[in-house]
């Protein structure tokens, strides 16, 4: 698909380039904010799985840059934004970057060090593994990423804080809802207008972090496993009870963003300049070192010889194996 036809097919992709966002995902966070007002009173934020950085840009533009412009602002008053990803990211003003794996305990320790003993008001996570197309597998890997994010949340989110994470809707959504309800008084699933209806992606918006009394972060996984079994759920207060039959959990689900605004599943005509042509813009900032970069380089070179073709095949196989 050419750039111009992608601009026509995906209005948010085009708008992202026009407004200087590195990815169309920026609109998802903005639309979640329109509905839930997630930035109110926020001074410390963690952006998990942040590359190429459009959510970090939103955090910078909504929190850091306005605070910096205040006449009496001092460095110590400025919001602290820490962004983490496996991939490196081009710099963004006011955003501290950490390259690391959110499933690794050391990553949480690095973030905690940046906060110097303080806690975060908000944690966002737009993490996604490379999608395999096998729905159950993709949903499972995505849920593992959310649990890794929740582990970090239990270490660094302040009581009363908020957590926003991408999920893949599927048969385990009720279980996830129930698990999150252990830690937050309000849990809502949201579908921003910029997220395609055809995609199983949605976002969970968790408000008012209130871990169970006496909760020890080391017990998180044991606690979550317990809720994953019907007998375990009986003695936990999962507010709505077990997940099947008459006690089935009904999950609050909200469409958000201006509902009269752009529809991400529609094609829109391209604006023409005076000479009747349309000029497609380049992406604002593509990922610096995406995992597929080496494979693409090898593909280009593959016409030059069989050795490169073998190397390309091996590289593709190992990317698939590690996905
Ligand atoms: N929110 C980003 C933005 O607005 O630009 C887009 C995030 S992109 C959809 C998903 C990101 O998750 C990728 O950059 C990927 O490297 C990252 N990711 C996946 N697994 C991860 C992990 N275990 N630790 C850290 N980052 C991870």
Q: What tens digit of pLDDT does each residue of 51-61 get?
A: 999 999 999 99
Does ipTM top 0.85? Answer: yes
Catalytic residue flag (residue 158) = no
pTM score: 0.86
Ligand 1 center to residue 244 CA distance, Å? Answer: 33
- Protein residue whose Cα sits closest to atom 24 of ligand 1: 101
Which residues touch 58 (CB under 8 Å, ≥6 apart)? 21, 26, 29, 30, 33
Q: How confident is the model at residue 231 (pLDDT cuts 50, 70, 90)?
A: very low
Strand order in the sheet with 95-99: 95-99, 80-85, 44-48, 120-125, 157-168, 201-209, 184-192, 253-256
236 pLDDT above the threshold of 60:
no
Q: What tens digit of pLDDT does each residue of 60-114 get?
A: 999 999 999 998 888 888 999 999 999 999 999 999 999 999 999 888 889 889 9
232 pLDDT above the threshold of 50:
no
Q: What is the pLDDT of residue 209?
A: 98
Q: What is the pLDDT of residue 223?
A: 78
Please indicate whether residue 101, judged by its CB atom, sits closer than 6 Å to ligand 1: yes
Give ∠ CA 248-251-253 in degrees, rounded to 5.
Answer: 150
Please indicate whether residue 128, judged by its CB atom, sits closer than 6 Å to ligand 1: yes
Q: Which of 62, 162, 166, 191 is catalytic?
A: 166
Q: What tens digit of pLDDT does each residue of 105-160 get?
A: 888 889 889 988 899 999 999 998 877 888 888 888 888 899 899 999 999 999 99
- Protein residue whose Cα sits closest to atom 14 of ligand 1: 51
Measured distance CA(290)–CA(293) in Å, rounded: 5
Give ∠ CA 34-40-43 in degrees, rounded to 5.
Answer: 130
Please indicate whether residue 86, judged by its CB atom, sits closer than 6 Å to ligand 1: yes
Least confident range from 186-195, 201-210, 304-313: namely 304-313
- Protein residue whose Cα sits closest to atom 22 of ligand 1: 101
Please indicate whether residue 51, judged by its CB atom, sits closer than 6 Å to ligand 1: yes
Q: How confident is the model at residue 204 (pLDDT cuts 50, 70, 90)?
A: very high
Q: How confident is the model at residue 218 (pLDDT cuts 50, 70, 90)?
A: confident
């Amino acid at each position: 698909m050419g750039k111009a036809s992608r601009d026509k097919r995906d209005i948010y992709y085009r708008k992202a380039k026009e407004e200087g966002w590195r990815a169309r995902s920026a609109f998802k966070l903005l639309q979640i904010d329109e509905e839930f007002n997630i930035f109110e009173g926020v001074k410390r934020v963690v952006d998990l799985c942040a590359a190429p950085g459009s959510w970090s840009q939103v955090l910078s533009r909504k929190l850091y840059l306005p605070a910096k412009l205040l006449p009496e602002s001092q460095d110590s008053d400025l919001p602290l934004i820490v962004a983490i990803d496996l991939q490196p990211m081009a710099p963004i003003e006011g955003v501290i970057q950490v390259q690391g794996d959110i499933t690794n305990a050391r990553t949480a320790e690095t973030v905690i060090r940046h906060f110097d003993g303080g806690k975060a008001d908000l944690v966002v996570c737009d993490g996604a593994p490379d999608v395999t197309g096998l729905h159950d597998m993709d949903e499972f890997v995505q849920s593992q990423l959310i649990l890794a994010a929740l582990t970090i949340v239990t270490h660094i989110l302040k009581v009363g804080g908020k957590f926003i994470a991408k999920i893949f809707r599927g048969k385990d959504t009720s279980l996830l809802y129930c698990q999150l309800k252990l830690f937050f008084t309000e849990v809502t699933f949201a579908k921003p207008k910029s997220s395609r209806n055809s995609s199983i992606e949605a976002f969970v918006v968790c408000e008012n972090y209130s871990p169970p009394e006496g909760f020890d972060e080391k017990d998180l996984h044991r606690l979550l496993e317990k809720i994953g079994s019907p007998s375990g759920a009986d003695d936990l207060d999962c507010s709505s009870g077990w997940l099947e039959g008459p006690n089935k959990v009904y999950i609050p689900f909200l469409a958000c963003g201006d509902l009269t605004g752009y529809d991400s599943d529609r094609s829109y005509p391209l604006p023409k300049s005076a000479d009747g042509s349309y000029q497609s813009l380049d992406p604002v900032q593509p990922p610096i070192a995406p995992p597929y970069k080496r494979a693409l380089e090898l593909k280009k070179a593959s016409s030059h010889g069989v050795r490169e073709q073998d190397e390309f095949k091996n590289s593709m196989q190992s990317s698939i194996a590690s996905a």
